[in-house]
Structure 1
Amino acid sequence: MHEADLLTNLVLALSVAAIGGLVSTALKQSPIIGYLLAGIIIGPFTPGPVSNVEIISQLADIGVIFLMFAVGVHISIKEILSYGKLVLIGAPLQVLAVILIAMAIGRLIRMDTGTSLVLGFVVAISSSVVISKVLEDSGEGSTDHGGIALAWGAIQDIVTIIMVAVMPLFSSVGTDNNSVLLSMVKTFGFLVIAFGGGFFVLPWFMNRLALLRNREVLLLATAAVALIAAVGASMFGLSVALGAFVAGLIVSESEISHQILGDIVPIRDVFSALFFVSIGMLLDPRMIISDWHLVVLGLVLILIVKSLISTGIMLAMGYAIKTSVLVGLLLAQCAEFSFLLASIGRDLELLSENSFRLMLATTTISVIINPFIYRLRAPIVSFVNNLISANNIPQPTQYATPDIDLPDRRHAVLCGYGRVGAVVGAALRRRGFPFVVIEEDPRIIKELRRRGIPAIIGNAANMSVLSAANVESARILIIAISDAVATRIAVENAKALNPNIDIVARAQSAKERDYLRHRRVSHVVLGEMELALEITRFTLHRFGVSGGEVQAILQGLRERSEAELGSGSLYDL
């Protein structure tokens, strides 16, 4: 009977999640929205089919384990440390600031100290799972702001260990100094065992498994490692999510971490849908209506206060406006660890049942709203840029290039010096044409200046940065960055500074190409199209097609792509 209930609930949850995800995708929204709405539909608070909350929650726990394991593998400890004080100091500072503000507001609306503390803990932590999913859906998983947001979230996840240890101090339910001390000892013991022993054993073990060249065995071993770590953390009184995350961090040091991540993704995706469905099932629409003012207050803390604090900290540490704002938007939500903290608060009687459900409702709504807000990132970044420029607010980014004279007329401004920009820069330098580079990565800036290349640290979307590069008198603006949002804003600002400037930009999609052309960009290079043409050229050449005929075919394909690629048409030679 139990097996039948498990299968029935699993089929119902996955079926409704698939339909919700399909509808959301068709409406060009994040699948997360569909999964959450699916949970509301089969939840106990709405009419219609009702799934077993307990069974779905248990399955969702498996989803959280694989999700957090994948997040840990994706962002290694070395990558976290590479961001230095930004995440190691900035993330804890943001958490502390949000907690203090939430506690102050809680006391103003007559919450007791314990409830106010739990409120602060719940709203201060962002979900690494949601960050990862939003970045994946928007195609920005490899961007600078994506890496920073994931690293920031990783530090937040670790901070929850301290929160879990602190909460019993404010409760009178079966806690004393000895039990709190024991909890802290257990936490410390788990981390010592995991990081101390795991670093020597797990990477070696996974590398040895890779020598077998058996994908099935490697996948099973990877799943076992994630689950064992989760169970181990649970035995120490910690959350399974934290255990899986720590295991992922350790496995990321393996030479085959990318292979492991690729193999675990299908399992992660299936169970991640169940995780978001389980969140939706906790949402009670009636409570939202009756206590709407408290829900709105919580959302203000999560969506606005936390985002502003995160953005402000990044700006104060010298990061570009665009990167700072996007990280703030990604952090403007709560999920898995917030639910954990709220549950512990209820068990310790720091929260009433009503307060517990209100916090769950507020955090769930934040997950629903966050993808919508992130889709508006371009106008939000543009608004902040204009606001700062209009009010002459000093920006911390260092624009000057010490000991290097910037070209002041008829030069090229090269935005981005990655794999694409570096090739363009090498060609310009070889011919002796003057150019200045705009780049966000301080390491690249340092190397460019060492080689005597004029370089400005900052974001190409920032009008002050473009002005510092003398765009007003430049011959051409070359946008070699892959960030579509920054590209759009850079085009707008450059045209405002120099309406007659020639602009060449790269695009990631036909839609983006058409948008840039509508904005009077001189030449737009669609990366996928150029790649396809180059592959076609080589293939035809190997079949003995003459050079002249190959060029004619490629030219025809290029011309037809102008009208057909945007509609997804297939090419017929």
Structure 2
Amino acid sequence: IIIIKLLSDKREVDSLHGRIAVGFLIVQDILVIVAMIALNALSAADTSSLAVMTFLRILFSGLLFLVLVALLMRYALTPFLNFLAQSKELLVLFSIAWAVSLAAIGYSLGLSKEVGAFVAGVSLASTPFREVIGSKLTTLRDFLLLFFFVDLGAALDFSAIGSQVQEALLFSLFVVVGNPLIVMIIMGVMGYRKRTGFLAGLTVAQISEFSLILAALGMSLGHIHAPVLGLITLVGLITISASTYLILYSHTLYSYLCSWLDVFERQIPYRELADLPAAESRIDIVVFGLGQFGRTIVDLFKSKGYRVLAIDFDPELVRKAQAAGIDAHYGDAEDAEFIATLPLEHARWIVSAMHDQHPSLALQQTLKAQQYPGNIIFAVKENKQRETLLENGGMVFVVHEYAAQHVAQELLNLDMSG
């Protein structure tokens, strides 16, 4: 929850490293759910004279539960939500009731309420209403997150903390430093750039909330004792706190450490370079950002016969643009090494349609360092962003989404007159 919230606040959920991080988290949570089912089944078997039969009963109940939910997802859930969607309040109430109900069913089957709630979330995410439900439940999620941390703090045995600090710091150091290093090594071997590996690695520099739930389950089953749970909780608090700031300042950290990270990148990072335009390509205009404003510029200039190169960090927007016949590629405007690979020698215009000040400033500084001789345009949404960009040179438009076509036409007129 915390990592997704941080990535969402930074608008990086749809970036390549954001999608990879979400993939890590999903696999991690699924494995924890499987482990929790197995632990509950084994625990029930241990206390029964018919151990094997008890284990098989819980396992069968779990599989039947998943199959029934899958059938509801396939044939009933979406049509029913279509009916409820006439009222957003009913949609939200049903989502909460659905999660609580499946949590209760999971608990009654011996699978734990966390397993049931997780299945409920997966089923709702499979419907076309996942974005609406997610946005409406954001406030409730943040409110309940407060109680999660209250419970986390309450689980700490302060009488034992003094003797556990050394161990907690050692384990936390491994998680905060070791986990990102492991991810960077794996992603480097797989052919990703060091920047992608570094940013994705920072998202796993903590133990997840499910780890704490798994530990609590282990204590309730008698597999671990209270001091061990306290140690895990302390490591969780340290790593969650540390990784929060690592993620918030990930780009700044990368700018300081990038020269030391070459060892984590292949000589040819083929996973990302395979999608780059040819170095000898002659491009008239390069557009960073394929949102409404950026796509409008791309479409207008392309319709007038210009050779347009579009860049975005959202792979889905890139795929849609490519399907429409646009020369679009995945890339990060804040990555100076990526910018250096683009065929900018003959480009007359570079347009930053990202609206966010930070990547625009990074792009501006990179182009200035590379002594780019053409025209640079920045689209911003607020006047205060405009002043910062103007200080370093370049034309700036304060853009409203409804004026995208007008601004694109103005740029075209400027190019024709120049």
Q: TM-score, normalised by structure 2?
A: 0.78
Moved more, 436-445 or 492-501: 436-445
**Does the CA contact (< 8 Å) of 2:40 and 2:112 recur in 1?**
no
TM-fit CA distance, 1:360: 0.9
| Compared CA separation, residues 182 and 309, structure 1 to 2 (3 A) | farther
**Mapping for residues 305-384 of structure 1, pairs under 5 Å:** 305-317=178-190, 319=192, 321-383=194-256
| 1:107-126 aligned within 5 A | none
1:284-295 equivalence runs, <5 A = 284=157, 287-295=160-168
The corresponding residue for 1:21 is none
How is 1:73-472 mapped onto 2 (pairs within 5 angstroms)?
129-140=1-12, 143=15, 145-166=17-38, 174=47, 179-210=54-85, 213-284=86-157, 287-317=160-190, 319=192, 321-383=194-256, 385-388=258-261, 393-394=266-267, 395-399=269-273, 406-408=280-282, 411-440=284-313, 454-471=327-344
Structure 2 counterpart of 1:201, one-letter code: A
Alpha-carbon distance change, 451 to 269 in structure 1, aligned in 2, over 3 angstroms: closer
CA distance in 1, matches of 2:275, 2:12: 30
Q: CA deviation at 1:189?
A: 2.7
Deviation, structure 1 residue 179: 4.9
CA RMSD of aligned residues (A): 3.9
Q: Is the 8 A contact 1:282 1:361 kept in 2?
A: no
Answer with 462-471 or 450-459: which moved more.
450-459
* TM-superposed deviation, 1:228: 0.2
Please tell me whether the aligned partners of residues 175 and 207 of structure 2 are also in contact (alpha carbons under 8 angstroms). Answer: yes
Residue 433 of structure 1: CA displacement?
3.6
Structure 1 segments unaligned to the other structure (5+ residues): 1-128, 538-573
Q: Equivalents in 2 of 1:227, 1:433: separation in Å?
A: 56
Q: Against the structure 1 CA distance between its residues 344 and 494, is the aligned structure 2 distance closer, same or farther, given a 3 Å change threshold?
A: same
What is the Cα deviation at residue 310 of structure 1? 3.4
Amino acid at match of 1:273: L
Counterpart check, 1:522 vs 2:406? no
Per-residue CA deviations over 1:193-213 (Å, capped at 9, x if unaligned) read 222334322222222233xx4
Measure how far apart 1:318 and its partner are: 5.0
Letter in 2 for 1:466: I
Identity across aligned pairs (percent)? 25
Once residues 101 and 274 of structure 2 are traced to their aligned partners in structure 1, the CA distance between those partners, rounded to angstroms, is 52
Query: CA shift at 1:426, angstroms?
Result: 2.2
Q: Residue 295 and residue 177 in structure 1: after superposition, are their counterparts in 2 closer, same or farther (change >3 A)?
A: farther
Further displaced range: 417-426 or 353-362: 417-426
In the aligned structure 1, how far is the partner of 2:343 from the partner of 2:253? 25
Whether contact under 8 Å (2:41, 2:58) holds in the other structure is: no
CA distance in 1, matches of 2:123, 2:175: 31
- Paired position in structure 2 for 1:496: 369
**Aligned residue pairs: how many?**
401
Deviations 1:439-462 (A, max 9, x none): 455666667668775554433333
2:78 maps to amino acid: P
Q: What are the Cα deviations for residues 493-522 of structure 1, in whole angstroms up to 9, with x where unaligned?
A: 33222265543234466665555445x141
Gaps of 5+ in 2: 407-418
CA distance in 1, matches of 2:71, 2:172: 40
Give CA-to-partner distance per residue, 1:145-169, whole Å, 9 cap, x none.
4454334322322111222245589
Contact 1:517–1:523 at 8 Å: present in 2 too?
yes
**TM-fit CA distance, 1:404:** 6.5
